[in-house]
């Protein structure tokens, strides 16, 4: 099974959308194998978003993501990375389809409620930033025989 990193960003936490995000993940058939709420450290935020370090929005992105609690998750399932990206919707909420998290709850790119890894490699790196190996639980959901061929 594939794993991906998902974060409900501070705006999603402040707006009370954590349960909605988790519900959409679970209803789709993906499982949560690690979950934590905390205020991300500045070092972790800089490491997480290091590919954007040269972009003009980097400083404000870091300031925002450490401004309040966020919820970090490891989400697991077949094709978890592309499925989670589809659940989230386009990064720019204006382009996000209705029925996606961003299409239903976001207006601006800088406050787009959620993050999900964009590749398996990014997922591994991001999971390693936010969780140690013992915090990720491997288990089988009872409905997996009905989800997978």
Which residues are annotated as catalytic?
A: 115
Rounded distance between C-alpha atoms, residue 73 and residue 48, angstroms: 14
> Residue 29 contacts by C-beta under 8 Å, 6 or more apart in sequence?
77, 143, 147
**Which token pair is 81?**
């990375």
**Which token pair is 123?**
């997922």
Of 61, 71, 66, nearest to 116 by C-alpha is 71
Helices (DSSP H) in the chain: which residue ranges? 10-14, 18-28, 42-48, 58-65, 80-88, 101-105, 120-130, 144-147
User: Checking phi first, is residue 99 left (phi over 0); if not, alpha (psi -120 to 50) or beta?
Assistant: left
């Amino acid at each position: 099974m594939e794993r991906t990193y998902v974060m409900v960003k501070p705006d999603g936490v402040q707006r009370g959308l954590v349960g909605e995000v988790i519900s959409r993940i679970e209803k789709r058939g993906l499982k949560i194998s690690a979950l934590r709420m905390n205020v991300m450290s500045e070092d972790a935020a800089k490491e997480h978003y290091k590919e954007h370090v040269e972009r003009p929005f980097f400083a404000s992105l870091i300031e925002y993501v450490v401004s309040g609690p966020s919820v970090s998750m490891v989400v697991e399932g077949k094709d978890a990375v592309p499925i989670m990206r589809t659940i989230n919707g386009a990064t720019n909420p204006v382009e996000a389809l209705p029925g996606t998290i961003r299409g239903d709850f976001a207006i601006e790119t800088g406050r787009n409620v959620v993050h999900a890894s964009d590749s398996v490699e990014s997922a591994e790196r991001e999971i390693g930033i936010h969780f140690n190996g013992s915090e990720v639980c491997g288990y089988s959901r009872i409905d997996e025989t009905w989800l997978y061929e």
